[in-house]
Structure 1
């Protein structure tokens, strides 16, 4: 028997595992930051106008947005039964109509215009006027939907809504988000990069607890700061990530964590990072702030600029080394900074080489300025970075500072062998696409590469006489 009662779906958090208002806001920030911020501030107290203005500024790829599997199944069953499936949302009407068309749903939609925010009781009255009391089933995901559920024949509750447990005619559908998914969004595996803060301690041969402890606290502060920026970066890259073969599984792109949760978490981590940095010392606070501002500029604009993005990545890694010196209050050699920068220029090129090698088409990388035609240039710049790093290392080995710190400084020349091997190997692996999309994370997991680094460090400790000092002989 064919049913005539329509199935009405909320959009944000119900049909979609995301929110169209926040999608439009972050897409606007990525394309036109200042106009988007002005629009948000001007209409923040008028949601319907805000949604209309943002919808007019950006064209969203609605076909890429993640759909809640349980709701998709309910839609399929309703359509098989001959029922009309209608979208009713507080999102902008134009976006909701386009979404319905993209998924083959009814052309009849209920949504916000520039004056009325169709949410809660306003949505309930619109549906009652169209279908009558209990003339529809309604799927929603939050307490605001209670106003509609009370007038629906059946309530489809997506995720955990405590207020909906008293509804007499309800079906519970799987949805919502998890803390595990949020932790994934913080990318804790990337925190390993902050081991770079320890380099000034090693270079200065300062292995006392008074130096190490503030550096460890500095690593925590940088981890918080980095995670806050990763969240911003992912929110700015939603469309590009959904077009990527692996990044499409990131929590915000996949909809496993709501955007609003990410925004609150990112802000909290940023404030915690700055508070911890300020507790260490003013210099370290300034460096963390510089890192965050540079990272934000990278996320908003610089990562889309060819070659500038690689120079910015190298700068961000170099800032970590400076931060380690500031946290531990140790002197950092100018040679170290000049050495570190070309190393990370090379690794930045490796990152892009890997992405291009693993790309599934000849099109330019989504959100980046590189295509496969740039692989040769990237290889050349990576080679220059390797040569520059080894040259600076050699010049340091014959400097008065190296002669003072390393009595057997000739061993530094021997240490250049595993160093050069490691750098060249990283470039080759990137060229053939045989490493992770992030070369630093790959390097920390690559046993052979770690072995080369340990050999290099062992030779440097030997040259400094540290082995004899620690173990006698």
Structure 2
């Protein structure tokens, strides 16, 4: 029994369940479309979330399988289940198939629009290309990550039958780009300290370049978000002139993340920051609760 529990724990670590928090972007179209309380749409979106999460976990498994030799040399990634020998490569291959099969089963049996399956398949194929080649190309690698977040939005919009605003697509892409570059900064810092390359394209990045890019992106995000909150279409849709108040939480959250990235140099895992940084958690909670008030109360 203990051996089974240990293997299950190792498998879950390989699946990176914490990373499923990224897939909550799938619920954003439903949330902003005022359909979060509509049970059929909520169920469909949840099923789409599960299907997408299983596929995402299969990609994590594939990535760890392909990078196992490099991960063994990395100060952090060496603790991953395949790299440290807790899960064999053959078992990892079986788990990739199992996860993909589980996702396909949900999509086949659930009453979801065909677009959901097509978008998830596109995400899967795109990330296979990322794992095999594209992650080795500087800038292209972060663009692929950002597109992945946008695809999450389209999955949620299709599952919940919600029309996406161009604003949410643009800002999601930019936010994901910001997080991806912050992660590359952490990779570069590890390379400087230990000489270990987290990825082969790390030589095409440096602190000055990444800091400049982060500054530019955060400025664009903040300006875009403020323009969004004061745009006539948003004021009309939400029936309030006070949506701009939510900008406070966006500014606080981004500035804190920039501090964690540049001052603390701990931007290697956006998910770990999300789960451990109280300042960012409170910023996100304030942002969500403010929108709940405007949309549902």
Greater strand proportion: 1
Fold conserved (TM > 0.5)?
yes
User: For the residues of structure 2 that align with 1:322 and 1:304, how far apart are their CA atoms?
Assistant: 26
SS at match of 1:245: coil
Aligned to 1:213: 43
SS of structure 2 residue aligned to 1:417? helix
> Is 1:354 the equivalent of 2:186?
yes
2:82 aligned residue: 252
What is the Cα deviation at residue 283 of structure 1? 0.5
Instruction: Give me the whole-angstrom Cα distance separating, in 1, the residues matched to 2:205 and 2:20.
Output: 32
- Residues in 1 aligned to 2:123 and 2:264: alpha-carbon distance in whole angstroms: 29
Contact 2:182 2:267 in 1 (8 A): no
Quick one: structure 1 residues 426 and 178, their matched pair in 2 at CA, closer, same or farther if it must change by over 3 Å? same
TM-score by length of 1: 0.58
Q: Is the 8 A contact 2:188 2:205 kept in 1?
A: no
- What secondary structure is seen at the aligned counterpart in 2 of 1:403? helix
Max Rg structure? 1
How does 1:249-288 map onto structure 2 within 5 Å?
249-278=79-108, 279=110, 280-288=112-120
Q: Which residue of 2 aligns with 1:315?
A: 147
Match of 1:454 among 256, 275, 285: 285
Alignment partner of 1:203 is 2:32: yes
Task: Point out the structure with the larger helix share.
Answer: 2
Could you list the per-position Cα deviations for residues 365-396 of structure 1 after superposition, in whole angstroms to 9, with x for gaps in the alignment? Answer: 23231249611111211222212222222222
CA apart distance, 1:399: 2.9
In structure 1, stretches of 5+ residues that fail to align are 1-173, 468-473
Question: Is 1:443–2:274 an aligned residue pair?
Answer: yes
Q: Which has the higher contact order (CA 8 A, sep 6+)?
A: 2
| CA deviation profile, 1:349-372 (whole Å, cap 9, x unmatched) | 111122333446364623231249
Normalised TM-score (structure 2): 0.90
Choose the corresponding residue for 1:234, options 64, 78, 88: 64
Partner of 1:403: 235
Alpha carbons 2:253, 2:284 under 8 Å: kept = yes
- Structure 2 unaligned blocks of 5 or more: none
Shift of 1:290: 0.7
**Count of residue pairs brought into register by the alignment:** 290
Question: Do the aligned partners of 2:190 and 2:196 also contact (CA within 8 Å) in 1?
Answer: no
Partner of residue 343 from structure 1, selected from 140, 162, 175 = 175
Structure 2 residue 10 is the aligned partner of structure 1 residue 181: yes
Alignment RMSD: 2.1
Q: Secondary structure at the match of 2:198?
A: coil
Cα deviation digits, residues 90-148 of structure 1 (max 9, x gap): xxxxxxxxxxxxxxxxxxxxxxxxxxxxxxxxxxxxxxxxxxxxxxxxxxxxxxxxxxx
Distance 2:277 2:237 in 1: 30
